[in-house]
Chain A
């Protein structure tokens, strides 16, 4: 699976949109971009995934660039409960292995 690069930490004001970037320049054609988050002392939580089209669900939106070398996870109206470590993972569809990188520690500021 391709490697990802994320900023180690970010802050966002409560109520604003949080935009978390991820670089995956070596992604191959059949690999998906997955996002998980881990709130302190809890298990990771699946957020969203996508191949090349933008995706939206009740938690977030995923924007993937046309060349698929980078993506952005958008939390539209961040709340204090969104403070967590966010992991961007590239994974071949159907692959059993999920390899976590170091992630981005997002802190929502009141």
Chain B
């Protein structure tokens, strides 16, 4: 099983809503990632979790709150978002061995629209 799943596929939310994006993998990977991709732009790294601990936060605004409840699950909690936060949110995972990260496998993404 080399699949990373993400739910929901699409999400429309108002600026006062609270919602969560979910990502799951069963490949035994111990590194998980959130990326944001605006239209016609490359993906940009937001967060990295390594062995269930946050290891990288790319200066992401606090209205995005990541959570890694176990080694298979990664959540991204959203609160008080702005219309400019509308984007494709991608989750990825990779094997870690001796502390080194290997190639990343991506999910299909959640397309978020903030109204």
Question: Which residues of A are at the interface with B, using a C-beta cutoff of 8 A?
Answer: 34, 38, 41-46, 49, 87, 93-103
Top 8 nearest A-B pairs (CB, nearest first) are A94-B100, A43-B106, A100-B42, A46-B103, A96-B101, A44-B106, A96-B48, A43-B108
What residues on A are CB-neighbors of B50 within 8 Å?
Answer: 96
Q: Say whether B61 faces chain A, with CB atoms less than 8 Å apart.
A: no
- Asked if A96 and B56 sit within 8 Å, CB to CB, the answer is yes
**B: contact size bracket:** 20 to 34
Query: In the complex, which of the residues A42, A87, A98 contacts B109, with contact meaning CB atoms closer than 8 Å?
Result: A42
Mark out the residues of chain B between 6 and 53 whose CB falls within 8 Å of any chain A CB in the assembled complex.
Answer: 31, 33, 42-45, 48, 50
Given contacts A97-B45, A98-B104, A99-B45, 5 further A-B contacts (CB under 8 A): A42-B109, A43-B92, A96-B56, A97-B56, A103-B42
What residues on A are CB-neighbors of B42 within 8 Å?
Answer: 87, 100-103
- Asked if B31 and A96 sit within 8 Å, CB to CB, the answer is yes
Q: How far is the CA of A45 from the CA of B27 in the complex (A)?
A: 16
A-B contact pairs, 22 of them (CB 8 A): A43-B4, A43-B106, A43-B109, A44-B43, A44-B90, A44-B92, A44-B106, A46-B105, A49-B103, A87-B42, A94-B99, A94-B101, A96-B31, A96-B48, A96-B50, A96-B56, A97-B56, A98-B33, A98-B45, A100-B42, A100-B44, A101-B42
Chain A residue nearest to B106 (CB atoms) is: A43
Question: Which residues of B are at the interface with A, using a C-beta cutoff of 8 A?
Answer: 4, 31, 33, 42-45, 48, 50, 55-56, 88, 90, 92, 99-109
Q: How far is the CA of A94 from the CA of B99 in the complex (A)?
A: 7
Q: How far is the CA of A18 from the CA of B81 in the complex (A)?
A: 42
Q: How far is the CA of A93 from the CA of B102 in the complex (A)?
A: 8
What residues on A are CB-neighbors of B88 within 8 Å?
Answer: 41
Q: How far is the CA of A43 from the CA of B45 in the complex (A)?
A: 13
- Asked if A93 and B100 sit within 8 Å, CB to CB, the answer is yes
